[in-house]
Amino acid sequence: MGKRYLCGLDVEEIGELIKAGGFNHAQAVTVAGMFYKKGVPGLNETTRIPKSLKKYLYDVAQTGIYPPVKSEESADGTKKYLFISPEGKKFETVYIPEGKRKTVCVSTQSGCRMGCPFCVTGGYGFHGNLTARDIVNQVLGIPCHNEVTHVVFMGMGEPLDNPDNVLKAVRIFSAEWGMAISPRNITVSTVGITPAFIRFLRESECNLALSLYSPFSEERAGVVPAEKIYPVREIISIMAACQLSRKRRLSLAYIMIQGVNDTGNHLNELISLTRNTRIRVNLLPYHAVRDDDKRSSSEGRLQFFKHNLVMAGISASVRKSRGEDISAACGLLASGMR
């Protein structure tokens, strides 16, 4: 048998790996913490791991971390990385520095099979789910991984179409034996797959963001095929009924397109849908794709929506776009992956 990859293993799996060498669970916790918080130097330099265990790990395991094959930097400091997994799957990752906040936007699939026409990633097609190792590697494999404070699952793919690997990666990111990133600093974005949505609410304390597009079901179904199977109103009802911990956030991501979903009727329906639910509304500008005649709503229109939502007692914000000049903004990943 070949050596096991440490990247992507949880503490129980590391425990099973070293158990055969006579080592215990407490030592597995130390190995996991050193590896996920400090990388290979943490394993090599710490005195908390005995030399016999270091030698055993060298004999039976390898890191499993692989670097990106390409990177681009935006004028605003955002960096985009292209990874190719050992199995040949291509996917992109975005690093967004903003003051003390350092966010990594990770992908969960190579491409996507949700079929939303306004998203470039969907046009790339579906080339397979990423493993927990591939997802975690998007943080450990970039140069500034030690600075990361936030992780958002908003890259390529639909996270809840790959729930087992996403939940495992979330555990590694948030566990004390892992990277120890607070669950309130981890957000998973989804178009809404009801069974996996409910499972994620139960098995994780991380934030969830539901991509809405339109508050009208028929209109949403025309561009978000998942709506036909998993109606968004049902998911919003689940969100509204969820007993949230004080720091957990459930939100709607509303990409605004001029003359398409930014009318007064859309605003009124959005207010009706979210009033008294504790669901936050994040308003985002639309990023036009190639041969696309649609345009983003103006900044003034986004602010108008925000103002009216807030006046109705709904928490709302306008999100600033980052990395558009290198196709790293929402909906643009995979632009150069043909």
Q: What span, in angstroms and rounded, lies between the C-alpha atoms of 59 and 261?
A: 58
H or E element at residue 264: helix 264-274
Terminal-residue alpha carbon distance, the chain: 36
Report the SS3 class of residue 12: helix
* Contact partners, residue 13, CB within 8 Å, separation at least 6: none
What stretch of H or E contains 240? helix 232-241
- Residues whose CB falls within 8 Å of the CB of residue 175, separated by 6 or more in sequence, listed in order: 10, 11
Taking alpha carbons only, the member of 255, 257, 329 closest to residue 297 is 257
DSSP 8-state code for residue 297: P
**DSSP letter assigned to residue 124:** H
Catalytic residues: 92, 330
The residue ranges of DSSP E strands in 99-235, in sequence order, are 101-105, 109-111, 126-129, 150-153, 186-190, 207-211
